[in-house]
Chain A
Amino acid sequence: MAARWDAELARTSTIRISAPEGQMAAQSEAVLEVLRTTPGIASARVMSEAEQRKLLEPWFGPDLPLDTLPVPRLIEVLEEGRGPDAAGLKLRLSAEAPGAVLDDHTRWRRPLVNAATRLRILGAVSILLIAGSTAAMITLAAQSALAANGQVIGVLRLIGARDVYIARAFVRRFTLRALVGACVGTVLAMIGVLFMPAAAEEGAFLTGLGFKGWHWILPFLIPPLAAFVAFWATRWAAFRTLSRLS
């Protein structure tokens, strides 16, 4: 999501023109001319009044008389490649159109990307915590199961069973349970994600918590990961408990 936010916001920038009514058209034309000759700009267009009204609608309501208000004109710029040299573009704009201000979204893109990066770290820590708590629960369950089967273990030892033989029975059972449980949980979670309400197209890059394309494969890693954790947690608990029961 952090990458998507960064990419989506980095591809666009906005030029805001605040000028007296008589100069607005001339400065707009000058800005468009500057943009046409600037490398790294794919396209640029002046936003219509209807589009600007739509942008302001959430704050001022649907009947905003734009023509009577000193609303700056907005030019939407779509970038290509590595984008334009922002510092150079600002200098050229100040020379050609003094009322034009370039907003390359850096100011509010950075905290968003930082937040998304932290969300990513939080996600990784959550996975580690879930794996750790799963291992702890399985360890406790395995220890309880071993303690409850003390008599069975005694009989098996009497007839010459090695610890690895005894542990194998518990490891197999707990690994299988973890695998089946994780499979069921993953399928249910994926169904939940599949039926999550879709966000509006224009805001999707800010939300968009579903999976896209090959990302649907990622949840399938959960069951083998759970089985792996269960295998080693049970094995560790079994050998530890068996060494105490000697």
Chain B
Amino acid sequence: MFVCDARKDAKRGIKQKAGQSLIELKNAGFTYGGRDILSEMTLRLQPGSFHFLTGPSGSGKTTLLNLCYQALLPTTGMVRIFEQDVRAMTRDDIAKMRRRIGVVHQNCQFLDHLSVRDNLALPLSVSGREDDIHPSNLDDLLGWVGLTERGEALPPELSGGERQRAALARAIIMSPDLILADEPTGNVDWEMAQRLMALLVELNKMGKTILIATHDLNLIRTVKSEVSARVLRINNTKLQLAGADL
């Protein structure tokens, strides 16, 4: 079973990485067009932790997530991913690093000419693990996100919620150490948002490290009742720990 494999793998990962940070930002900043988007960001993501990243629209949540998987380079300070300085990474290093991070985008990027099932298997193909592509694993994963009947559909045929769940399934197929989700519930109704959060909480309980960018405070409160999560807020380009109101 795929989910069981992920659980075992995650527990093993926590043991191996105890005391280490998956992501570390030290006074990191990002400037675009002469304007500071982020500044003096200091953050450490420990294995198995659950973090929310919140803040008003345009505050830099997506930018911070992009720094966390080297889609962007900091203009100041330092960012380390899996103990490696992002500035010292080669292109191959970046590719290998991204295989250990599952990213769920708000606009769910898929290859539209491939079926959902093929899109889910794609991370295994690009990393040379074609032997790990078993129909039963894919069925298991599709079932876990509630898309058993939609495996042969093309991404444009999916609803917003289905796309989000497919993106989450693809993000975890490599059994990554870290899952980054950017507004994963942005395009879905409240019920679907809760379902998606339940999946992410389940992954965290399996040992996965989760960082979710969202501005939905109600959702954060709901999740905090189930799991120990830290809430970070970006305010005036700086990162703060959110108050007790959350």
Chain A residues with CB under 8 Å of chain B are: 151-152, 154-163, 165, 243, 246
CA distance A161 to B91 in the complex (A): 10
Give the chain B neighbours of A162 by CB distance below 8 A: 91-92, 95, 126
- 17 residue pairs from A and B, CB less than 8 Å apart: A155-B110, A155-B122, A156-B122, A156-B126, A158-B105, A159-B122, A159-B126, A160-B95, A160-B96, A160-B97, A160-B127, A160-B174, A161-B95, A162-B92, A162-B126, A163-B92, A243-B91
Is B109 at the interface (CB under 8 A from chain A)?
yes
Task: List 18 additional contacts besides A154-B109, A162-B126, A163-B91; criterion CB under 8 Å.
Answer: A151-B109, A152-B111, A155-B110, A155-B111, A156-B122, A156-B126, A157-B95, A157-B98, A158-B103, A158-B105, A159-B98, A159-B122, A159-B123, A160-B96, A160-B126, A162-B92, A162-B95, A243-B91
Give the chain A neighbours of B98 by CB distance below 8 A: 157-160
Min Cβ gap A154→B in Å is: 6
Question: DSSP majority for the B interface?
Answer: helix
Question: DSSP majority for the A interface?
Answer: helix
Q: Are B109 and A161 in contact (CB under 8 A)?
A: no
Q: Are A160 and B111 in contact (CB under 8 A)?
A: no
Min Cβ gap A164→B in Å is: 8
Closest to B113 in A: A152
Is B233 at the interface (CB under 8 A from chain A)?
no
Chain B 101-119 residues near chain A, CB threshold 8 A? 103, 105, 109-111
Min Cβ gap A174→B in Å is: 19
Chain B interface, number of residues (Cβ within 8 angstroms): 18
From A155, A160, A163, A246, B99 is in contact (CB under 8 Å) with A160
Q: Are B170 and A159 in contact (CB under 8 A)?
A: yes
Give the chain B neighbours of A161 by CB distance below 8 A: 95, 126
CA distance A163 to B96 in the complex (A): 11
CA distance A165 to B129 in the complex (A): 13
Q: Are A158 and B109 in contact (CB under 8 A)?
A: yes
CA distance A246 to B70 in the complex (A): 10
Give the chain B neighbours of A155 by CB distance below 8 A: 109-111, 122
Give the chain B neighbours of A156 by CB distance below 8 A: 122, 126
CA distance A76 to B99 in the complex (A): 83
Closest to B110 in A: A155
Give the chain B neighbours of A154 by CB distance below 8 A: 109
Closest to B124 in A: A159
Give the chain A neighbours of B95 by CB distance below 8 A: 157, 160-163
Closest to A246 in B: B91
Closest to B95 in A: A162
CA distance A162 to B125 in the complex (A): 11
Chain B 124-152 residues near chain A, CB threshold 8 A? 126-127
